[in-house]
Amino acid sequence: MSLLVVGSMAYDDVITPAAEARDALGGSATFFAAAASYFTPVNLVAVVGEDFKHEEIAFLRERGVDLDGLTVEAGKTFRWKGRYLANMNDRETIYTHLNVFEQFDPRLPELYRESEFVFLANISPALQHSVISQVHRPKFVAMDTMNFWITGAPDALRETLKLVDALVVNDSEVRELSGEDNLIIASRLVQQMGPRTLIIKKGEHGALMVHGESYFFCPAFPVARLKDPTGAGDTFAGGLMGYLALSGKVTEENLRRAVVFGTALASFVVEDFSCNRLRSLDRKEILGRVDALRAMTRFEKDSFWPAEE
């Protein structure tokens, strides 16, 4: 089924303890669309500047991403520069130049308004709200957010949260949004704000889905050659929403598999800079990691210790 993503497209300068990348294709919508494209066509809404390269457009188009929603404005594309610390987990931002993204006002092409699956990447809650109101009858709407909006636009965020089916965020954001340290209690509080489903990204610690009353946990795939964590969260969301749109039905079983596919896609993207690893994956590679993730958590009931005493 049709999948819409609204977010950023950017050029990143990334410094890791081991290496450095300049003018690397980045942005939440880019990583999301590249990952989701392995499952389903993607309608993309974003804005870039005149400096945006044609080859990037070509790459996404070849991957089945519809770019009618991409506008090119006079000026420069969103630029971010950051440095990762030795643990490859914490990072410091050297600069953020919003450029044309500062005036981003997502307008959906008529066809996009029929999208059944919608992902609102990390943009202002007000813009996320405006996107939701432009879609006619979405089947499943998921959103991301960040501390900047939790503290900077709490009221708008609360309003938008009422309208979504799922929130896809980091554990620290769930704690900040709820004001509660215990993640289990925090999740329930956030569910009461609107989303029935919480998909909590914990980086190397995996992902926890709280769906209604049930919990599902998927560990991170053991990545030995971690090269650049940039975009892992958006790639996770892309694999998740892409799989869900492919399956067409939002059941708990499908949501669980979607979390696993998202985890698998994220495990690839961190093995290289930018979304380079998402340029040439094949289904067998992806399914190989899905199988590995299942094997990592499998255990059988035993006979040593029956419940009857």
Task: Retrieve residue 293's tokens.
Answer: 């993730």
Q: Based on the shown chain and the rule CB under 8 A, indicate whether residue 247 belongs to the binding site for its own copies.
A: yes
Amino acid at 48: V
CA distance 209 to 191: 12
* Stretch binding its own copies (CB under 8 A), from 49-57, 133-141, 147-155, 221-229: 221-229
137 binds its own copies (CB under 8 A): no
Rounded CA gap, 120 and 128, in Å? 6
CB of 263 to its own copies, least distance (A): 11
- Three-class SS state of 282: coil
- Mask: binding to its own copies, 85-104, rule CB under 8 A, as x and -? -xxx----------------
Amino acid (1-letter code) at residue 15: I
| 219 near its own copies, judged by CB under 8 A | yes
- Nearer to its own copies among residue 74 and residue 86 (C-beta): 86
Residue 257 contacts residue 293 (beta carbons within 8 Å): no
Residue 187 to residue 50: CA distance in whole angstroms: 42
Rg (C-alpha) for the chain, rounded Å, is 19
Report d(CA 281, CA 293) in Å as an integer. Answer: 18
Stretch that binds its own copies, among 91-99, 102-110, 116-124, 212-220 (CB under 8 A): 212-220
List 254, 272, 276, 281, residue binding its own copies (CB under 8 A): 254
Stretch that binds its own copies, among 60-68, 130-138, 146-154, 222-230 (CB under 8 A): 222-230
Is position 74 an interface residue for its own copies (rule: CB under 8 A)? no
DSSP assigned state of 77: -
Per-residue binding string, its own copies, 160-199, x by CB under 8 A, is ---------------------xxxxx--------------
Pairing type for strands 78-84 and 10-15 reads parallel
Q: Which of 116, 193, 216, 276 binds its own copies (CB under 8 A)?
A: 216
Of the candidates 49, 54, 55, 5, which has an alpha carbon nearest to the alpha carbon of residue 30?
5
DSSP reduced 3-state for 3: strand
Nearer to its own copies, 11 or 268 (CB): 268
| Residue selected from 81, 83, 97, 256 as contacting its own copies according to rule CB under 8 A | 256
User: Could you say whether residue 208 binds its own copies (CB under 8 A)?
Assistant: yes
Q: How far is the CB of 182 from its own copies (least distance, A)?
A: 6
Q: How far is the CB of 255 from its own copies (least distance, A)?
A: 9
Q: Least distance from C-beta 192 to its own copies, angstroms? A: 14
Q: Which among 114, 169, 179 is positioned nearest to 146, based on CA atoms?
A: 169
Residues 41, 282, 276, 203, Cα dihedral to 10°: 90
Stretch that binds its own copies, among 19-27, 98-106, 250-258, 273-281 (CB under 8 A): 250-258
Q: By CB under 8 A, what part of segment 257-276 binds its own copies?
A: 257, 260
Residue (73 or 216) nearer to its own copies, CB: 216
Based on the shown chain and the rule CB under 8 A, indicate whether residue 309 belongs to the binding site for its own copies.
yes
List residues near its own copies by CB under 8 A. Answer: 39, 86-88, 181-185, 202, 204-206, 208, 214-219, 222-224, 226, 243, 246-247, 253-254, 256-257, 260, 282-284, 287, 294-302, 304-305, 307, 309
